[in-house]
Structure formats: structure tokens, C-alpha cells
Amino acid sequence: MDYISNIVPLLKSYIGMELKSLSGRSNIFVNNVDSNGFSLTCADGQSFTESHRRAKIVFEQLQDKGVIHVDAALENSGSRRNIPETLLANLPFVEYGKINQRQHLFLRVEETHELGTLKQKSG
């Protein structure tokens, strides 16, 4: 899967949706998604605009490895680490769960839940 041609169109489907974060404390509202990036309103009420760079890095590593810890994938870069994590975890073929008490994302071969919802990995 290619981030630009396959994932960005799915992210555009989030426009107007509130996405739950993995913690449940950092939900985001998606105002806009275009080829340059996305515009969000975070749980603290702050508007935030970001390019696709960090989400693309995370997705590409997820695709390569099948499972990733977002902080490690981003090398702890920048604030609001939960943004790419939340955007990707709400895709229908990405689940989340813990390995060694740390939150990870898991890529699935097929869709396991609805777009814009979260699914915790079972087992």
C-alpha cells in the first residue's frame, strides 16, 4: 500500500469526525485533509496543522514491520505524538495493543473494524 494513493484518501474520509485516541484523553477532531497535510482540533481545544510527514513515516514502518511503537518509529520527534498514532489506529486494518506495557499498532491483512473506530488487538 502506498501512503499517498491509498492512505490519504482514507484520511480524507475522517473530515468532520472526532477520532478517539488510544488513551481516550487526546481525541482529535478532523477539520480537513488534503495532499499537503491535515488540520485538526485537539482535545485541549487547540487547532493544529501538520504535514503528512510523520504519519507517513509511521505507516511505512508499520507496513515494513507489521507492528510498531509510534514513539520509537518517530524517534520521539516533536509534540503531539498521538496525532499520527490516532489517525492510523482509526483505519479499519490497524489495531492497537500493548507489548511490554507499551502501546503498539498492528497492521492487519484485512479490515477488522469500521473506518473511524478503534479496535484493540485480541490475545
Q: Is the dihedral of CA 81, 115, 117, 42 positive or negative?
A: positive
Q: What is the mean pLDDT of residues 11-30?
A: 95
pLDDT band at 118 (very low <50, low <70, confident <90, very high): very high
Which residues 6+ apart lie within 8 Å of 9 measured at CB? none
Indicate if the alpha-carbon torsion angle 95, 115, 11, 21 is positive or negative: negative
Label residue 3 by pLDDT band (50, 70, 90): very high
Domains and CATH numbers, the chain: 3-107 (1.10.10)
Question: How much is the pLDDT for 82?
Answer: 87
Spatial contact of 24 and 85, defined as CB atoms under 8 Å apart = no
H or E element at residue 86: helix 82-89
Using an 8 Å Cβ cutoff, are 68 and 104 in contact? yes
Average pLDDT of the chain?
93
pLDDT tens, residue by residue, 53-99: 999 999 999 999 999 999 888 886 666 778 999 999 999 999 999 99
